[in-house]
Amino acid sequence: MLTGTLSALGPLAALGAASGCTDGSGSEDEAQTARREQRLRKKAAGQSRALAARYEATIDAHSGLADRLRPLHAAALRHAEVLAGKKDAGRGKDGAAGDGSTEGGDGKGAAVPRKEKAALAALGDAERRTAAERNAALAEAPPELARLLASVAAAGAVHAYLLGAGEQDGEDEGE
């Protein structure tokens, strides 16, 4: 149990080291940090747009899942906005993306499984992979962005759970 706890705290320890005091070299370090933050934000926002596109493709392929998936789709769109540093920019009343870009992922290009249960599992797996990538990015993220990434990664883990990711061992049976 102790090993599991320590391994879970690893990214947080790295985060603490990364957010230490500066030596006064100032603007060069700040510029480097700002560029790194911008790069991480752009990648994370693209991942959220790609997830949203996967949700859209799954809803298109399995209309019976629409009511279940729409809130998760809307959350992915909101995550993209926040990660990109926008509050409500480019969003219509229905929450649809303004520019339709899916930079940073394989969103709509990903094939949607024909069976609903498998489609849900594929979405859950995508959410879990994205959450893991965001957790990995914590070590190099500035503190404020690290908190945001951790929060969005936790939301992605919950989405994966709600979608039933990881419990699809017998997915071909019964459907």
pLDDT for 15 beyond 50 = no
- The CA distance from 30 to 159, in Å, is 35
- The CA distance from 106 to 110, in Å, is 6
Per domain, the residue ranges of the chain are 32-163
- Report residue 121's pLDDT band, with 50, 70 and 90 as the boundaries: very high
Mean pLDDT lowest for which of 14-23, 28-37, 49-58, 114-123?
14-23
At 95 the pLDDT is: 42
- The CA distance from 115 to 175, in Å, is 7
pLDDT for 105 beyond 60 = no
- The CA distance from 94 to 17, in Å, is 42
pLDDT (tens digit per residue) in 24-64: 556 778 889 899 999 999 999 999 999 999 999 999 999 99
Angstrom distances, CA of residue 150 to CA of 34, 38, 112, 128 = 19, 17, 28, 13
- Give Cα 48 to chain centroid, integer Å: 5
pLDDT for 4 beyond 60 = no
Taking the model in full, what pTM does it have?
A: 0.69
Q: When comparing pLDDT for 20 and 55, which is higher?
A: 55
At 13 the pLDDT is: 45
Helices (H) then strands (E): counts for the chain: 5, 0
